[in-house]
Amino acid sequence: GQQLNQSPQSMFIQEGEDVSMNCTSSSIFNTWLWYKQDPGEGPVLLIALYKAGELTSNGRLTAQFGITRKDSFLNISASIPSDVGIYFCAGHMNNAGNMLTFGGGTRLMVKP
């Protein structure tokens, strides 16, 4: 199956710092999605990217769809304690079933 390599696996940062995480793949994706998952909850969509080169912001979050369509990054600026959680990238290939392929996740910890 398709693989998404997400890095870093975990980050421990000070409140107020900026954060960056990324996903890469050997395959081309037509949509990139970034989700946040809190403990015991389902993934919640943060940002969706639909075109190569697209740069989209959602508050303090910014994500970009790589030009090659094989990568994407997510930046969080001025982190706050409630940013703690696991962030997943996910890619969609416009195949018959609309399945998403998820990255391995980045666990973010923020020290107040």
Partner 1 sequence: EPEVTQTPSHQVTQMGQEVILRCVPISNHLYFYWYRQILGQKVEFLVSFYNNEISEKSEIFDDQFSVERPDGSNFTLKIRSTKLEDSAMYFCASSPGAGGYTFGSGTRLTVV
Q: How far is the CB of 105 from partner 1 (least distance, A)?
A: 6
| Nearer residue to partner 1 within complex by CB, 16 or 58 | 58
**What does the block give as tokens for 13?**
């940062």
| Nearer residue to partner 1 within complex by CB, 44 or 55 | 44
What number of CA atoms fall less than 13 Å from residue 94's CA on the CB side?
7
Binding site for partner 1 (CB under 8 A): 1, 30-31, 33, 35, 40-45, 48, 50, 88, 90, 92, 94-105
Q: How far is the CB of 43 from partner 1 (least distance, A)?
A: 5
Of 71, 56, 76, 65, nearest in space to 25 by CA: 71
| Nearer residue to partner 1 within complex by CB, 34 or 73 | 34
Which residues are CB-contacts of 60 (< 8 A; sequence separation ≥ 6)? Answer: 76, 77, 78, 79
